[in-house]
Copies of this chain bind each other. A is one copy, B any other.
Amino acid sequence: MKSIKVGLLGIGTVGSGTFNVLKRNQQEIAARAGRAIEITMVADLDTERAKKLTNGEVAVVNDANLVVNNPDIDIVIELIGGYGIAKDLVLKAIANGKHVVTANKALIATHGNEIFKAAQEKGVIVAFEAAVAGGIPIIKALREGLTANSIQWIAGIINGTTNFILSEMRDKGLDFDVVLKEAQRLGYAEADPTFDIEGVDAAHKLTIMASIAFGIPVQFSKAHVEGITKLQATDIRYAEQLGYRIKLLGITKRTAGGIELRVHPTLIPSARLIANVEGAMNAVLVRGDAVGDTLYYGKGAGAEPTASAVIADLVDITRLATADPEHRVPHLAFQPNAMADTPILPMAEITTSYYLRMHVADQPGVLADVTRILADSSISIDAMLQKEPAAGETRTDIIMLTHQTQEKNVEAAIAKIEALATVVGTVTKIRLEELG
């Protein structure tokens, strides 16, 4: 049986992980795939390092074009990252009739529509399981496993760095800055952690999942992206007292008016399985109309977990490539001519519950004023926590959990509450999802 020849663009952490797993498990993988799959060519600017990592067993070049133009290569793995060179090379590989595997969530979330169109026209496959939640086969689950369902919503912990930080903040009662430094020391956060802690990475992944779930084009620019940098240890503590944990969730939901697409810190009931996903682990909870809730849990990053997804894509391609192109799994789950133009809702239009914390003067009438404002806005209160002022303090915290309401509604009420003379500073607002 003819072996499948793979070219690798970029041999960093995931690239060398892929090379190593393919080699270590080559017999088992071939026994499943029915043919050998081998990396025969690697392009990397650091050719010396690339040669060392591949034990001199493969051709190493510093010009990626030599890989994408090589007629012997069947599949190109793109592990360069970013939107620039990576995009050019992916498009060149497609133009040359090669299938592509990529772990590049930024590329797919921003240029996926163009890339899939090119692939469709050329009759090749672009696979990207590794772009979302690392080794968890969530793309496959959404696109194939749950294909019978009308997906209603997805809520995912899809960034390990922020989940590690939030777990540590809760566990040890530490502030964000302190834990971030610790996470950097341990290698759970990068030297420049912006993409992770500001929610951009999670929003890339969420954007991809939303497209597959709802049959819409990728639209990263319309995602609401909010990270954890402003989250205070005190809110994690109050949430816990009320029976909730705070997670950075990517949430996408189908509603009558459109699709919600948002990444932000979220209170979820402590009893939910997903609330107990701690450390750098990822988990995605999916609600389908037929299957109900299913959850997928595992490592969302790292050399070999990501390699696991990259290699699964390689094997899938060897299979699907022999299928009639019209019978293949569509890139974004729905046939290109059956995609919907359902709008993405602006944040003002989304509906959820809220955690509100306000610092107030400890004097009669404050609570009456606040609850009157909420009632006038038709916002019902689900739970409340009022603390005794600390010794020598004349102010105290009031925490309220609301029932579901529209974001613009709660924003208007907050503006009124903040205008009260008895309320000090701003109201802290964190969204809350029951996921039940």
Interface of A with B (CB < 8 Å)?
1, 17, 21-22, 24-25, 28-34, 129, 134-137, 140-141, 143-150, 215, 273, 276-277, 288-299, 302, 304-305, 307-312, 315-316, 318-324, 326-330, 333-335, 338
Contacts of A295 in B (CB 8 A): 295-298
A34 and B330 within 8 A (CB) = yes
Give the distance to chain B from A127, nearest Cβ to Cβ, in Å: 12
- Contact pick for A146, options B288, B312, B324, CB 8 Å: B312
Hey, which chain B residues are within 8 Å of A310, CB to CB? 148
CB distance A148 to B307 under 8 Å? yes
Whether A137 lies near B148 (C-beta < 8 A) is no
Q: Please tell me which one of the listed residues B32, B150, B299, B324 contacts residue A333 in the complex, with CB atoms under 8 A apart.
A: B32
Is the beta-carbon distance between A308 and B291 smaller than 8 angstroms? yes
B330 x A32 contact (CB < 8 A): yes
Tell me the complex Cα distance, A329–B145, Å: 14
Instruction: Find chain B residues with CB under 8 A from A134 CB.
Output: 291
A299 partner, pick from B215, B292, B299, beta carbons under 8 A: B292
Interface contact A294-B136, CB-CB below 8 Å: yes
Q: How far is the CA of A17 from the CA of B28 in the complex (A)?
A: 37
A147 touches B327 (CB 8 A): no
- State whether B297 touches A291 (Cβ < 8 A): no
Contact B25 A150 (CB under 8 A): yes
Q: Is the CB of A291 within 8 A of B305?
A: yes
Q: How far is the CA of A140 from the CA of B312 in the complex (A)?
A: 11
In the bound complex, residues from chain B placing their C-beta under 8 Å from that of A290 are: 17, 21, 25, 135, 304-305, 307-308, 311
**Residues in B neighbouring A291, C-beta threshold 8 A:** 134-136, 298-299, 304-305, 308-309
Partner of A327, one of B277, B311, B319: B319
Nearest CB in chain B: distance from A29 CB, A: 6
Chain B residues with Cβ below 8 Å from A323 are 319-320, 322-323
Nearest opposing residue in chain B for A325, CB measure: B322
| Interfacial chain B residues near A135, Cβ < 8 Å | 288, 290-292, 294
Tell me which residues across on chain B come within 8 A of A330, comparing CB atoms: 32, 34
Whether A298 lies near B308 (C-beta < 8 A) is no
Q: What is the bound-complex CA distance between A28 and B290, given in angstroms?
A: 13
Chain B residue with Cβ nearest A277: B273
A30 and B277 alpha carbons, distance in the complex (Å): 35
A308 contact set on B, CB distance < 8 A: 146, 148-149, 288, 290-291
Known A-B contacts A32-B147, A304-B291; the reply to A327 vs B335 at CB < 8 A is no
B294–A147 touching, CB < 8 Å: no
Question: Could you say which of B146, B273, B320 contacts A276, with CB atoms under 8 Å apart?
Answer: B273
Q: Do the beta carbons of A32 and B292 come within 8 Å of each other?
A: no
A128 to chain B, nearest CB (A): 14
A140 touches B147 (CB 8 A): no
Distance from A285 Cβ to chain B, minimum over Cβ atoms (Å): 9
A327 and B34 in contact, given A21-B290, A290-B135, A298-B294 (Cβ under 8 angstroms): yes
Q: Given the complex, which residues of B lie within 8 Å of A289, measured CB to CB? A: 21, 24-25, 304
Contact of A312 with B28 in the complex, beta carbons under 8 Å: no
Asked if A315 and B277 make an inter-chain contact with CB atoms under 8 angstroms apart, the answer reads no
Chain B proximity of A82: nearest CB distance (Å): 25
Task: Tell which of A28, A145, A276, A304 has the most Cβ of chain B within 10 Å.
Answer: A145
Chain B contacts of A333 at CB under 8 A?
32
Give A318 to B326 CA distance when docked, in angstroms.
11
Most buried by B among A33, A149, A320, A323: A149
Q: List 15 A-B contacts (CB under 8 A).
A: A24-B150, A25-B150, A25-B290, A31-B338, A32-B143, A137-B294, A140-B145, A148-B311, A273-B277, A294-B296, A294-B297, A295-B297, A296-B296, A296-B297, A297-B297
A326's closest neighbor in chain B, by CB?
Answer: B34
Which residue on chain B has the smallest CB distance to residue A136?
B294
Collect the chain B residues with CB atoms within 8 Å of residue A273's CB: 273, 276-277, 297
Greatest chain B CB density within 10 A among A21, A290, A299, A322 is at A290
**A305→B137 CA distance, assembly (Å):** 19
